[in-house]
Amino acid sequence: MNAPSVSALVLNYDGRALLDTALPSLLAQRYPNFTVTVIDNGSSDGSAAYVRERWPEVEVLELPVNVGVAAALNRGIEAAQGQFVALLNNDIELEPDWLDRLVAALSEHPGAASASGKLLRFYEREVIDAAGDGLRWSGAAFNRGGGERDAGQYDRPAEVLTACAGAALYRREALAEVGPFDEDFWAYLEDVDWGLRAQLLGYTSRYVPAAVGYHMRGATTSKEKPRYRLPQRRNQLWLLLKNYPAPALLRHAPEIVVLNAGFLVQDALDGVAGATLRGWLAAVRGLPMVLRKRRAIQAARRVGLERLNAVVTPEPWATGSARERVRATLATAAPVFKR
């Protein structure tokens, strides 16, 4: 009877068919005190009406146009009433105790802003999709364990950099203090940006392997590479410029430069180098706005590099002088470029 209240928000854009899997698994959660809302982000496939007809117990927050992932999540969070807020993509299936496990983790760790479970691939359930999210000093964000066979190597609870907002639980007080997802990001890395800002304020994030879900990887994104590559490459730079303390930017500049050069090579091979260059141009044009945000973030920062070094993953080759780090990065960076 005293279970903390949870507002579960499912982000949907033209995913009517996906909801047939996501919503039943969410509604079947054993946790006793939660509500479900679908944030319909300007869908044109009748998703909102379909949800109202098939699941009348589910609330629908219908946005008239696609406002982007970050803004849509913010509109849902603003309307949510729960002590905890669960954020879910529409291409997720959950085990019945997923929510129970995450609420227990945040209750046990009051300093944690977020918690996420073990995501496995929907169509290859022996393969890990994510065991929490990580970030390298080069700026390469990655899913811990992504693509690995699940042999129990991620079966211990742990502290991670942040949770993937595709299937995670957030503490309402932390959402209020850290602030909203950055709507200028539109989509991509907005959850890593939020998690890094939370870390800078001294919050942690918990990985809870017993909270299991399944991800239909790529089901919610379009195959139009140029359209999505632009915000990916722009946000990659904004993420670091906003959040990295100045000593970290200086120290890790070689890795940052080489990583982005690798992205350009990769995108040229994919035939979308133009989108990458436009993304970089957009990043430059947005510098005044980003620097204003940076000043506020760095002024509020409560932790130093020692704390960040504990949660940001170093490149194994990032030692020695700048010249040595560049040479080693060029020799070994290819696997990172694929993430």
**Could you read off the pLDDT of 37-92 as tens digits, one per residue?**
999 999 999 999 999 999 999 999 999 999 999 999 999 999 999 999 999 999 99
pLDDT score recorded for residue 227: 77
Helix ranges (DSSP H) in 93-224: 98-108, 172-178, 190-200
Contact 128, 62 (CB under 8 A): no
Q: Report the 10 Å Cβ neighbour count for 210.
A: 16
pLDDT score recorded for residue 324: 60
Angle between the N-to-C axes of helices 225-243 and 273-285, in degrees from 0 to 180, rounded to the nearest 10: 40
pLDDT score recorded for residue 128: 97
Task: Quote the mean pLDDT of the chain.
Answer: 92
pLDDT score recorded for residue 337: 36
Q: Report the 10 Å Cβ neighbour count for 56.
A: 8
Architecture of domain 6-215: Alpha-Beta Complex (3.90)
Angstrom distance (rounded) from CA 275 to CA 261: 14
Q: 22-33 as b/e, with b when 16 or more CB fall inside 10 Å?
A: bbebbeebebee
Strand intervals (E) in the chain = 6-12, 34-41, 59-63, 84-89, 92-94, 112-121, 128-130, 133-135, 141-143, 158-160, 167-171, 204-215
Q: Where exactly are the structural domains of the chain?
A: 6-215, 225-337
Task: Indicate the SS3 state at residue 188.
Answer: coil
Angstrom distance (rounded) from CA 42 to CA 51: 14
pTM over 0.75: yes
Residue 126 clears pLDDT 60, i.e. is over it: yes
Task: Indicate the SS3 state at residue 208.
Answer: strand
pLDDT score recorded for residue 339: 34
**Could you read off the pLDDT of 148-177 as tens digits, one per residue?**
999 999 999 999 999 999 999 999 999 999
